[in-house]
Amino acid sequence: EAAVTQSPRNKVTVTGGNVTLSCRQTNSHNYMYWYRQDTGHGLRLIHYSYGAGNLQIGDVPDGYKATRTTQEDFFLLLELASPSQTSLYFCASSDSGSSQNTLYFGAGTRLSVL
Amino acid sequence: GEQVEQLPSILRVQEGSSASINCTYENSASNYFPWYKQEPGENPKLIIDIRSNMERKQTQGLIVLLDKKAKRFSLHITDTQPGDSAMYFCAAVMSNYNVLYFGSGTKLTVEP
């Protein structure tokens, strides 16, 4: 099974704070994604990338930046964190050549913005 | 993009009975419909999927149905067990895209 590692697992920051969430996948997948999970909204796509240096905007990008530095590493940046960004964040990867487009998720990062 | 509606949001059933979750989508270009299960404290994992060239697929007590005309698909869990208690998410993928659009989730509780 694909390995996707997120760090940190938990993070608490204050309003206006600067936060970076990290994700690394070791299965040479081309696509990587950042989702947020909130009760009543399911999983909503923030940003995604199909390769190093590429960035695509998802459905809820406001307040988030992302950067794909290598094939393995995808970062989500909150430069001025707000309480509305308190959420459970999942990174995922998939193989662009896969006919199933299966997503492999990391364990999640729980972020609290006070 | 795509909009996926999922109902119900909460579902309680008795052990041994069946559970059904329904989803609708908007974009006729969607051609792949996976279902993910998320156990408490865990990440979502793929449990079954169906492509648009099929109407029905079954595996290990799970049945998925697809009605392309109605833009509707559903998950049916037969003979539910306490281990089936979890969040379930449906999703849709548009042709030539590698982006999953998820429904809002169903919290299934199987009571002994």
Contact residues, B window 9-28, toward A, CB-based 8 Å cutoff: 9
Taking CA A65 as the corner, what is the angle to CA A34 and CA A107, rounded to the nearest 5 degrees?
A: 25
Task: Give the residue-averaged pLDDT of B16-35.
Answer: 94
Q: Please indicate if any CB of chain A lies within 8 Å of the CB of B34.
A: yes
Rg over CA atoms, chain B: 13
| Best residue in B52, B99, B101, B106 for a mutation probing chain A (most A CBs within 10 Å) | B99
Given a cut of 70, the residues of chain A with pLDDT beneath it are 1-2, 97-100
Note the pLDDT of residue B57. Answer: 97
Cross-chain Cβ contact B36/A58 below 8 Å: no
Cross-chain Cβ contact A31/B105 below 8 Å: no
Considering only the beta carbons, identify the residue of B9, B42, B102 that sits closest to A43: B102
| Whether residue B60 has pLDDT greater than 70 | yes
What are the residues whose beta carbons fall under 8 Å from the beta carbon of B104, sequence distance 6 or more?
Answer: A40, A41, A42, B5, B6, B9
Closest-CA distance of chain B to residue A23, Å: 14
Asked if B33 contacts B70 with a C-beta cutoff of 8 angstroms, the reply is no
Task: Give the residue-averaged pLDDT of B32-38.
Answer: 96
CA A36 to CA A86: how far, in whole Å?
Answer: 9
Task: Give the residue-averaged pLDDT of B80-103.
Answer: 90
Note the pLDDT of residue B12. Answer: 98
Note the pLDDT of residue A39. Answer: 87
Note the pLDDT of residue A61. Answer: 95
Asked if A92 contacts A37 with a C-beta cutoff of 8 angstroms, the reply is no
CA A46 to CA A57: how far, in whole Å?
Answer: 7
Note the pLDDT of residue B98. Answer: 77
Question: Which residue type sits at A44?
Answer: R
Note the pLDDT of residue A99. Answer: 53
Confidence of residue B2 (pLDDT cuts 50, 70, 90): confident
Phi and psi at residue A35, to the nearest 5°: -120, 155
| Best residue in A5, A101, A109 for a mutation probing chain B (most B CBs within 10 Å) | A101
Residue of A nearest to B31 (CA): A100
CA B83 to CA A70: how far, in whole Å?
Answer: 38
Cross-chain Cβ contact A42/B103 below 8 Å: yes
Note the pLDDT of residue A40. Answer: 84
Residue of A nearest to B35 (CA): A102
Q: Which residue has the higher pLDDT, B34 or B29?
A: B34
| Whether residue B97 has pLDDT greater than 70 | yes
Note the pLDDT of residue A15. Answer: 97
